[in-house]
Chain A
Amino acid sequence: MQSSLRIRKITKGIVVTIGLLFFIVILLFPFYWMFITSIKPDSELYDMAQPPMQLLKPTLEHYVYLIENTRFLLWLKNSALVATVSTAASIVIGTLAAYSLARLRFRGSRTLGLTIFITYLVPTTLIFLPLAYVIRSLGLFDKQVALMITYPTFLIPFCTWLLMGYFKGIPKELEESAMVDGATRLQALRMVILPIMMPGIISAALFAFTLSWNEFVYALTLAQTEAIKTLPVAIVSQLVLADVYFWGSLMAAALLGSVPIAILYSFFLEYYVKGMTAGAVKG
């Protein structure tokens, strides 16, 4: 009895380990291969006789090429600027909306909440074409500000929905007692509720920043001039030149473009997983 239980436990351990290894290999191998490619000299990269996993002389030449001969740093700055502005704007607007929808009673608040939730489901690819048309008629086409005002269209619904969940988890008595002491609702929100909300706001901001950093379709259609492009679009359109691929630098660019997100994410992993699962579990 005892030993059969132990055997079952060991078998389970082995199965779980194999499963874990399986997922680690298939999900992470592409990154590993991108990294190896980015530090391999061209002579080894295109030598079919050499075993592909072998690396004789690691080099940083592809990274140097990227920084010195392309406008990588400019695109990086563009991405950071667009993502920061649109995230900040969306967090402010989304927090106010979420507070109102989660806490205040007024006619049509439920319908409004559901409508905002529906826009959260709208894929950007459904809207990008007429959006480009509208942006053009507003005279903002091919300007960076076009991205800063269009990104909130998918960030605000997301932040609002996520933060509504957090607001609902904070007891009403907290702000009511502040209001008994003479504070207005907005004062109570600022002094009492927002400090407690910080974890929620951080996860919302983190998500929003990631979403803006990774956005592709709007950036591809709304920002055509090379100097204002964001990183993902610039790498795909400016570095992939016709049929000549510089795979080493290309992989270096793809990795460097992902690094800011990965760093941010490793610092705030707890918030990230919590935010993601809150979104998923609450719907």
Chain B
Amino acid sequence: MTQTAEISGKRQSRFEQFSQWFNQEKILGPALVAPAVLILLLLIAYPFCVAIWLSMTDKMIARSDTGNFIWFANFTKLFKDSIFQRTTINTFNYALVSVFFKLVLGLLMALVLDEVKIFKNFFRGILLLPWIVPTSLSALGFLWMFDSQFSILNRFLLDWGLIQEKIIWLGTPATAMFSVQLVNIWRGIPFFGISLLAGLQSIPQELYEAADIDGASSWSKFWNVTFPLLMPVTAVVTLFSIVQTFADFQIVYVLTRGGPVNSTHLFATLTHQTAILAGRLGEGAAVSLFMFPILVIAVVLQLRYLQKQD
């Protein structure tokens, strides 16, 4: 009897010892982050290294060997490749134009919503819909709205006399790029709008009251109070959007698959096309790495901002 009690007492204390040891911040801290870190190491960091290695090989999907190490041959080939050159221009065009309009229209949306006093949550809720529904599915809706024969947009424009002839939205290079940008802007406006609205509402009301006492006009209030105080949020949201838009895939994949004649290929869709559909894994990996520099720039800017905030 006493023996078992002793043993269980010992066990108890051993468990207690362990739990005390485990309760230390320097032990518990790393232990709780470990699962997250392991997953990210295995499925982000390691694949990223694999991408760098693959980009320097001529690995094909169809061949089971690991491919030959060819140094930077994939990259030099890409630089000379007209499709890749076109894709680079497309990606910058797509990202910069889209983000610009998302920012301008999103800011406008935030300013409007800030003044809406009734059914505030209802309007915010329905206007956020383009951002929350699956992009591939709303892009299908646009595929139908851009249809060569039955496009509703054409019918509106024709009826209102704004155009004389059908626009072949996805069929010519210039209109196809415009169309995919349009969808991207449509999808991104609410993100900018709601985020900037939060920024607007975090501006202390007293500042506006003080400006009123000084007799400031609405314009000068916007320029001297709203604008500077909204800058930090705007910068963060814009940076995030640039990275995401630069690496966009779904809208182009659903609407044009990069066509016509590669006029809408982005880095991400060309990666998919080269590596998965054409099976040139090494070359595809090289294409995908071109999305990396913009990410690095964004990260550096973002970290600098966070440090300033601290």
List A residues at the B interface (Cβ < 8 Å).
Answer: 12, 16, 19-20, 23-24, 26-28, 30-31, 33-34, 37, 45-46, 48, 52, 93-94, 96-97, 99-101, 104-107, 109, 112, 114-119, 121-134, 149-150, 152-153, 156-157, 160, 184-186, 210, 213-214, 216-217, 220-221, 231-233, 235-236, 240, 245, 247, 250-251, 253-255, 257-258, 261-262, 265-266, 269-270, 272-273, 276-277, 280-281, 283
Contact of B32 among A99, A105, A236, A240 (CB under 8 A): A99
Do A130 and B47 form a contact, CB below 8 Å, given A30-B186, A210-B132, A214-B134?
yes
Q: Is the CB of A96 within 8 A of B141?
A: no
Inter-chain pairs besides A123-B246, A236-B137, 5 sampled, C-beta below 8 Å? A31-B138, A33-B144, A126-B295, A130-B285, A152-B39
Do A236 and B140 form a contact, CB below 8 Å, given A20-B123, A27-B189, A46-B150?
yes
Q: In whole angstroms, how far apart are the Cα atoms of A93 and B202 in the complex?
A: 31
Say which one of B4-12, B81-89, B192-200 lies at the interface with A: B192-200
Q: In whole angstroms, how far apart are the Cα atoms of A37 and B150 in the complex?
A: 11
Q: Is the CB of B23 within 8 A of A185?
A: yes
Against A, the Cβ 8 Å flags (1 = close, 0 = not) of B71-84 are 00000000000000
Contact of A125 among B130, B138, B285, B291 (CB under 8 A): B291
Q: In whole angstroms, how far apart are the Cα atoms of A31 and B129 in the complex?
A: 9
- How extensive is the interface on chain B, given as a class? 35 or more
Q: Is the CB of B36 within 8 A of A116?
A: yes
Q: In whole angstroms, how far apart are the Cα atoms of A158 and B130 in the complex?
A: 21
Segment 257-310 of B: residues with Cβ below 8 Å from A: 267-268, 271-272, 275-276, 281, 284-285, 288, 291-292, 295, 298-299, 302-303, 305-306, 309
CB distance from A53 to the nearest CB of B (A): 8
Q: What would 28 A/B residue contacts be, using CB atoms closer than 8 Å?
A: A16-B115, A20-B112, A23-B112, A26-B186, A28-B129, A33-B141, A34-B144, A46-B150, A93-B35, A93-B36, A101-B33, A105-B29, A106-B25, A112-B37, A125-B288, A125-B291, A127-B47, A130-B47, A130-B285, A134-B43, A152-B43, A153-B44, A214-B136, A258-B134, A261-B134, A265-B132, A272-B128, A280-B233
Do A281 and B202 form a contact, CB below 8 Å, given A33-B145, A250-B144, A273-B124?
yes
Q: Is the CB of B133 within 8 A of A258?
A: yes
Contact of A153 among B40, B128, B302 (CB under 8 A): B40
Contact of B145 among A30, A153, A272 (CB under 8 A): A30
What residues on A are CB-neighbors of B285 within 8 Å? 129-130
Q: Is the CB of B190 within 8 A of A121?
A: no
Q: Is the CB of A97 within 8 A of B140?
A: no
Closest residue on chain A to residue B113 by CB atoms: A20
List B residues at the A interface (Cβ < 8 Å).
Answer: 19, 22-23, 25-26, 28-33, 35-37, 39-40, 42-44, 46-48, 50-51, 54, 108-109, 111-113, 115-116, 121, 123-130, 132-138, 140-142, 144-145, 147, 150, 152, 155, 186, 189-190, 193-195, 197-199, 202, 233, 236-237, 240, 243-244, 246-250, 253-254, 267-268, 271-272, 275-276, 281, 284-285, 288, 291-292, 295, 298-299, 302-303, 305-306, 309
Contact of B112 among A16, A109, A115, A149 (CB under 8 A): A16
Closest 3 CB pairs of A and B: A277-B198, A123-B247, A106-B29
What residues on A are CB-neighbors of B198 within 8 Å? 273, 276-277, 280-281
CB distance from A87 to the nearest CB of B (A): 14
Give the interface centre of B113, B186, B249 by most chain A CB atoms within 10 Å.
B249
Q: Is the CB of B44 within 8 A of A119?
A: yes
Give the interface centre of B150, B189, B292 by most chain A CB atoms within 10 Å.
B150
Q: Is the CB of B281 within 8 A of A109?
A: no
What residues on B are CB-neighbors of A99 within 8 Å? 32
Closest residue on chain A to residue B23 by CB atoms: A184
Q: Is the CB of B32 within 8 A of A104?
A: yes
What residues on B are CB-neighbors of A23 within 8 Å? 109, 112, 127, 189, 193
